[in-house]
Amino acid sequence: MKLKFLPTLRASSLCLHKLRALPMVMLLALPLYSHALPSDSNQQIKLLADKATYSERTGVTSYAGNVIITQGTFKMTADNITVNLSQQRSINSAVATGRPATMQQVVTQEKGLAKGQANKIDYNAVSGIITLTGNAKLVQNGASFAGNVIRYSLKAGDVEATAGGNQRVELVFPPNNGTNQSGVR
């Protein structure tokens, strides 16, 4: 498998001497690379909510109260979700808000389930990019990313985490069982 690019990690307080450990951190992040199940985009979309409003003129549908969107293995839950539809009535984008709003998807059978949560989740169905904003966290295959903003590509599996304010990006990787390797020093 050929990787097109590595994840970008930004933290304003990252010192130059700490950059030496960055290549090892990026190598540890390789288990997060993956592709979403291609069959998900061919599945029906199901939306559940306590209340729904739809504007024929704008193609915007708003859902409130225990909202759940599913499509194949993809699932998003929130207090409120606003969906923008194309002229063909397919989802262009969705914005979910909650305490927290959540998303999950089986990336591949080998990589398993990716789970994310944040105060706000922007889902661009056209590009396959999910942006988690505010107390954002993404977990997959035992590894996790946390920060103020996390951009995650459902198609490519790439992750970009950005710190905000006094917060820093946090990455946690499980131990590599089965091999005898030293940690980052």
Q: How far apart are CA 112 and CA 29, in angstroms?
A: 15
Instruction: Domain 35-172: give its CATH architecture.
Output: Sandwich (2.60)
Q: How far apart are CA 161 and CA 11, in angstroms?
A: 8
Residue with tokens 């990716």, as numbered in its chain: 114
What contacts 184, CB < 8 A, 6 or more positions away? 21, 24, 25, 28
The domain segmentation of the chain, as residue ranges, is: 35-172
pLDDT (0 to 100) of residue 121: 97
Burial of 11 per CB tally in 10 Å (0-12, 13-18, 19+): middle
pLDDT (0 to 100) of residue 6: 33
pLDDT (0 to 100) of residue 58: 85
Model confidence over 44-68: pLDDT tens digits?
A: 888 899 999 988 888 899 999 999 9
Quote the Cα angle for 139-141-147, to 5°. Answer: 25
pLDDT (0 to 100) of residue 62: 95
Question: At residue 56, what is the residue type?
Answer: E
Q: Which residues of the chain have pLDDT under 50?
A: 1-35, 185
Omega before 100 cis (within 30°)? Answer: yes
pLDDT (0 to 100) of residue 90: 76
Q: How far apart are CA 111 and CA 102, in angstroms?
A: 19
pLDDT (0 to 100) of residue 109: 76
pTM of the model: 0.72
Phi first, then psi, for residue 38 (nearest 5°) are -65, -25
pLDDT (0 to 100) of residue 33: 33
Tell which residue, 75, 79, 74, 81, has the closest CA to residue 53: 81
pLDDT (0 to 100) of residue 179: 58
